Chains A and B, each alone.
Chain A
Amino acid sequence: MTVYIPSALRSYTKQRSEVVAEGQTLAEVLSTLDHRYPGLRFRIITEQGTIRQHIRIFVKEEQVRDLSVALQPEDQIHIICALSGG
Chain B
Amino acid sequence: MPKSRKAPSPQLATGSVALLIGTRKGAFILRSDRSHRTWKLSAPMFLGHTVHHLMLDPRDRRTMLMATRTGHLGPTVFRSTDFGKTWKEAKTPPAFPKAPEGQNGRVVDHVFWLTPGHPSESGLWYAGTSPQGLFRSNDGGITWQPFSYINDDPQYREWMGTVQDGTPDGPKLHSILIDPRDPAHLYFAMSGGGVHESVDGGRTWTSIVRGLEVVEGFDAATVTFHDPHCVRLCPTDPDRLFQQNHCGIYRMDRSEGRWIRIGKNMPKKVGDIGFPMVLHPRDSDTAWVFPMDGSTVWPRVSPGGKPAAYVTRDGGKTWTRQDKGFPRANAWWTVKRQAMTADAHEPVGLYLGTTSGEVWASRTGGTSWTCLARHLPEIYSVEAAEL
Contacts and interface: CB of A to CB of B under 8 A. Distances in A.
Q: Are A and B physically bound partners? A: yes
Interface of A: 6, 8-9, 38-39, 42-50, 52, 54-55, 81-82, 84-86
Given A8-B70, A38-B91, A48 B76 contact: no
A8 B72 contact: yes
Interface string B151-163: 0000000000000
Contact of B105 (A38, A43, A48): A48
22 contacts: A8-B70, A8-B73, A9-B73, A38-B89, A39-B89, A39-B90, A39-B91, A42-B76, A42-B93, A42-B95, A43-B76, A44-B73, A47-B96, A47-B108, A48-B96, A48-B104, A49-B98, A50-B107, A54-B72, A55-B73, A84-B72, A86-B71
Q: Which 5 pairs from chain A and chain B are nearest by CB?
A: A47-B95, A43-B73, A81-B72, A84-B71, A48-B105
A46 B107 contact: yes
Contacts of A42: 74, 76, 93, 95
B71 A52 contact: no
A81 B93 CA distance: 21
Contacts of A82: 72
User: Chain A binding site: helix, strand, loop or mixed by DSSP?
Assistant: loop
Most buried by A among B99, B104, B107: B107
Nearest to A56: B72
Given A39-B89, A42-B76, A48 B107 contact: yes
Given A8-B70, A47-B105, A85-B71, A39 B76 contact: yes
A46 B129 CA distance: 14
Interface string B57-87: 0000000000000111110100000000000
A76 to B, nearest CB: 20
Nearest to B105: A48
A38 B88 CA distance: 11
Contacts of B96: 47-48
Contacts of B327: none
Interface in B99-145: 99, 104-108
A44 B72 CA distance: 8
Most buried by A among B76, B89, B108: B89
A52 B72 contact: yes
A85 B90 CA distance: 25
B106 to A, nearest CB: 8
Contacts of B105: 47-48
Contacts of A47: 95-98, 105, 107-108
Most buried by B among A45, A48, A54, A85: A48
Most buried by B among A39, A47, A49, A50: A47
Contacts of B93: 42
